[in-house]
Amino acid sequence: MQLAAKFETDAMLTIKDLQTPLIGPVDLSLKSGHCAAISGPSGAGKSLLLRAISDLDENTGHVSLDGTTRDALPAPEWRRKVAYVPAESGWWAENVQDHFVETPNLAELLQAAALSNALSWQVSRLSTGERQRLALVRALQLNPDVLLLDEPTSALDPSSVARVEALLKARLEAGCAVLLVSHDPDQPSRLEAHRYYMNSGELFENPAPGAIQ
């Protein structure tokens, strides 16, 4: 199995020699409208890779979006264009509504996530799955160019998984690129995702059949 080094001349997101004390170096590129899915055992570095791309952890290497390097953009602008949704999202206020700004697409996104009334709720009443879906809605409000998703459906029932995947497919059709970590062996196929496998901080392409998920 070879270290992943897949580059496209028309890539939207380009990553070269990305490295932290615990992962890498990682090379990866992702086109507009394309999805890539990363599997691998716990502790392999999957979440750390997403955090490094988002520049939340100290890292070295080259990361660019449509040819513009990450260092050329203010951090808030980079994180708006390359939106990261962790497995456990942050909730800092008592009411759900306080975590959202009003945007033209908010009501539509909440309806698509089956959470039309959620803005009137308190955070304390949210299930883990509801928090996951609301965190995704919060990211989608920004209309990002790239979505970095860490286990976005891990706590969801099948109908909610289908709703989330429908939202992701719509964003892919609109030209967004998606990089997600998933332990669902069938999810990459449903999203027509290119498969990667991560282990011991290294990223590999096309894991061999029977690789540990």
Q: Helices (DSSP H) in 66-211: which residue ranges?
A: 75-81, 106-112, 128-140, 158-173, 187-190
Choose between 5 and 41: higher pLDDT.
41
Q: Are residues 135 and 156 in contact, defined by beta-carbon separation less than 8 angstroms?
A: no
pLDDT digits (tens, 9 = 90+) for 137-187: 999 999 999 999 999 999 999 999 999 999 999 999 999 999 999 999 999
How far, in Å, CA of 55 to CA of 72, rounded? Answer: 13
Q: Is the dihedral of CA 101, 33, 167, 44 positive or negative?
A: negative
pLDDT digits (tens, 9 = 90+) for 105-139: 999 999 999 999 999 999 999 999 999 999 999 99
How far, in Å, CA of 107 to CA of 109, rounded? Answer: 5
Choose between 190 and 209: higher pLDDT.
190
Q: Which domains does the chain have, with CATH numbers?
A: 13-205 (3.40.50.300)
